[in-house]
Amino acid sequence: MPYIYRYDNGRFTQFEKAVVREQPLTIMANGVELATFMCTPQKLDYLTIGFLAFEGIIQGPEAIRDLDVDPENGVVEVELTTELVRPQKRIFTSGCGMGLTFTLRTSHYPPLRQDLTLTPQQIFPLMQRLFEGATMYQASRGIHAAALSDGEQVLLLSEDVGRHNALDKILGEALMKGIRTEGCILLTTGRISSEMLRKTAFMGAPIAISRTSPTTLSIEAAKRLGITMIGYVRRSSFNVYTHPERLLYQAEDGAR
């Protein structure tokens, strides 16, 4: 860990401080450079599989014949079972780590199931488990975390300097372990922008919860797709931006 200087209460002190690792990752598919973006060099296999699935290049891990991760050089080489159909358009996202996607379309996603409900009393402990499980966040405060939950437990958790990458890792790990994401809840420390909302819809998650606020475009898409978007979660409060009908509410004693 590097030494840093901290100014506090009129004086400087020096101490060791954990700092988030960041490096470029290049994804090669069938010998073709598909994408290069910044990431945290952990779970690179899950990150690659999730990225390829989100972008429609693969449907699942069965579409991959071989996957070789070279963490030293920041390269993942993927051999597909079929010919690569390379997307033509790149869109750089608003996320940390200079994320990219090949599409922002959400109009082709069907509305999600409506039978999943949640209470305010479930939301606060779920976010608490997200922060407790995010060990790199606890050490450095310089990283994003995302988690998949069934409403009671956290099923998967990943961290990355890019909030989009954290979701890619979640999807990749879910695909590799055979964990269904449909009907689950997505938790994130990052802003739910339009591209994050697209990934939420892709995973079939009817509820997305964040500690920060969404964007106008993501709110519009969430309304259309039937996603309940909850943001700005604090110790005893949160905002519901879309589809509040999934929240089961009973006033507590003394509440107005």
39 is known as an active-site residue: no
CB 184 within 8 A of CB 148: yes
Describe the crossing of helices 194-202 and 216-225 by its angle, rounded to 10 degrees: 20
- H or E element at residue 195: helix 194-202
Q: How far apart are CA 39 and CA 31, in angstroms?
A: 21
| Catalytic residue from among 64, 96, 203, 222 | 96
Other CB atoms within 10 Å distance of the CB of residue 178: 8
- For the record, the structure tokens of 203 come out as 């995973």
SS3 per residue for 215-236: CHHHHHHHHHHCCEEEECCCCC
Q: How far apart are CA 24 and CA 162, in angstroms?
A: 12
Query: Catalytic amino acids?
Result: 96
